[in-house]
Amino acid sequence: MGKHSLQRESRLPNSVKGALVAGAFATGAFPAIQAGAAPIDIPGIGTFDTPLSDQDAAAVNTQVKAFTTGATNPETNQFGGGLGVGGGAQLPGIAPPQFGLPGFMQQQNQGPANIALEAAKTKVGAQYSWGASGPYNFDCSGLVQWAYKQAGVDLPRTSFEQSHVGQPVAFENLAPGDIVVTNGGGHVGIYAGDGKLLNAVQSGTPVSYTNLRSDQVVTARRIV
């Protein structure tokens, strides 16, 4: 096996070379080189003498091979993909990529009411359209139905039907995400807290927050 220096030509990007080598040096894994040291082989970059024992060098070589071939750890179900994504094994100092979901989809640990409210908030400013249930235009019950669908709850379509779902809630006990029916049963929205109703108001008015008074409420319902 030939010995090479870091100046060896390689098809790997310089950023990858630096990550592989610098990550190991940052932890002190490669102290000053001594005569008769064991070799470390980094594919596509070169082979380097180190002061490690043969056993330790073999362990590092195994880690390097797993990283560069995209091995996946079946116990942790870590993403594979080699140098492009981050393999199942990690070189010291090189962190794996982090993935996340935006907005209300990150709130799976919360109840359906909170998830529905967060979903409805993303539609503030959407235009009112009678009979529409999203995803771009809504009427009042269409917005409520769409928001709760994002939480995995299927609600009926009209405000009258929605006035019978879940459990009744007194006005003074309203919590964010509760369904609130007003206007004699002809209008519905989602309680947003602080005396505000998030709703598709009427033609010409986009989805927005409006003030809510106790004398407006026909019934309030809680989905649990």
What distance in Å separates the CA atoms of residue 55 and residue 84, rounded to the nearest whole number?
A: 29
At 100, list the tokens: 């996340």
Instruction: Flag whether pLDDT at 51 surpasses 80.
Output: no
Q: Is residue 73 a contact partner of residue 87, using CB atoms and an 8 Å limit?
A: no
Q: Which of 14, 77, 140, 211 is catalytic?
A: 140
* 18, containing H or E segment: helix 14-26
pLDDT at 44: 58
Is 199 one of the annotated active-site residues of the chain?
yes
Instruction: Flag whether pLDDT at 89 surpasses 70.
Output: no
Mean pLDDT of 171-181: 98
Q: Higher confidence at residue 148 or residue 92?
A: 148
CATH superfamily of 103-222: endopeptidase domain like (from Nostoc punctiforme) (3.90.1720.10)
Alpha carbon 99 to its chain's center: 6
pLDDT at 58: 74
Q: Please give the single-letter amino acid code of residue 53.
A: S
Q: Which of 4, 173, 199, 211 is catalytic?
A: 199
Phi, psi of 95 (to 5 degrees): -85, 145
pLDDT at 224: 87
Q: Which of 14, 109, 187, 211 is catalytic?
A: 187
Beta pairing partners, 41 = 47
CA distances from 44 to 6, 21, 47, 131 (A): 10, 12, 9, 61
Q: Higher confidence at residue 64 or residue 145?
A: 145
At 179, list the tokens: 């369904």
What distance in Å separates the CA atoms of residue 36 and residue 100, rounded to the nearest whole number?
A: 47
pLDDT at 138: 98
Q: Which residues of the chain does CATH 3.90.1720.10 include?
A: 103-222
Q: What is the mean pLDDT of the chain?
A: 74
Mean pLDDT of 208-214: 98
Instruction: Flag whether pLDDT at 21 surpasses 50.
Output: no
What distance in Å separates the CA atoms of residue 8 and residue 143, rounded to the nearest whole number?
A: 62
**Dmax (CA) of the chain:** 90
Place of tokens 């980094």: 42
Is 164 one of the annotated active-site residues of the chain?
no
The pLDDT > 70 percentage for the chain reads 53
The pLDDT > 90 percentage for the chain reads 50
Residues 39-48: b if buried by 16+ CB within 10 A, e if exposed = ebebbebbbb
Is 187 one of the annotated active-site residues of the chain?
yes
Instruction: Flag whether pLDDT at 23 surpasses 60.
Output: no
